[in-house]
C-alpha cells in the first residue's frame, strides 16, 4: 500500500492548527512569530492538570528522535516560537512520520 507524502507546507499548517486547537482560537490568530511564554501563554490550571504549554512540550518529546532530543538537551535546537515548533514537526516527519501524522492529523 502506497502512502501519500505530506508536504512541508501541509505539516507547517497542521502544526499551527494544532497549536490553535490547544489554545481554542482560530488558526488565523496564530502567527509563526508568536513566542511561547510571551505572545502565547498557558491558561491557569491546577498542579494536577496539564496546560497548553505542557501539552506542546509533550508533543515535541513525542515526535523527537534521538538526534532531536540531543539537540534540544544541548540547546542546539530551541523552540521559542510557533514557527520553531512547525519547523521541528517538519524535521521530525523525516525520521518519525507516523508519530508526526498521528499527532497533527488525528
Phi, psi of 10 (to 5 degrees): -65, -40
pLDDT in tens, 67-106: 999 999 999 999 999 999 999 999 999 999 999 999 999 8
Q: 1 lies in a domain? A: no
pLDDT in tens, 31-76: 999 999 999 988 776 667 888 999 999 999 999 999 999 999 999 9
CA distance 85 to 80: 8
- Whole-number pLDDT of residue 1: 40
Q: Closest Cα to residue 94, out of 65, 71, 56?
A: 65
Q: 75 lies in a domain? A: yes
Q: 54 lies in a domain? A: yes
Q: 77 lies in a domain? A: yes
Give the predicted TM-score (pTM) of the model: 0.91
Structural domains counted in the chain: 1
* C-alpha angle 4-24-29 in degrees, rounded to nearest 5: 80
Q: 45 lies in a domain? A: yes
Q: 67 lies in a domain? A: yes
- Whole-number pLDDT of residue 49: 81
Q: 79 lies in a domain? A: yes
Q: What residues make up the domain containing 64? A: 8-105
Amino acid at each position: 500500500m502506497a502512502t501519500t507524502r505530506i508536504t512541508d507546507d501541509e505539516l507547517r499548517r497542521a502544526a499551527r492548527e494544532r497549536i490553535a486547537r490547544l489554545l481554542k482560537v482560530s488558526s488565523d490568530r496564530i502567527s509563526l512569530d508568536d513566542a511561547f511564554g510571551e505572545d502565547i501563554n498557558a491558561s491557569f490550571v491546577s498542579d494536577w492538570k496539564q496546560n497548553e504549554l505542557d501539552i506542546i512540550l509533550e508533543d515535541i518529546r513525542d515526535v523527537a528522535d534521538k538526534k532531536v532530543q540531543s539537540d534540544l538537551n544541548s540547546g542546539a535546537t530551541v523552540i521559542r516560537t510557533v514557527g520553531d515548533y512547525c519547523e521541528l514537526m517538519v524535521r521530525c516527519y523525516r525520521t518519525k512520520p507516523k508519530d508526526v501524522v498521528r499527532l497533527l492529523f488525528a
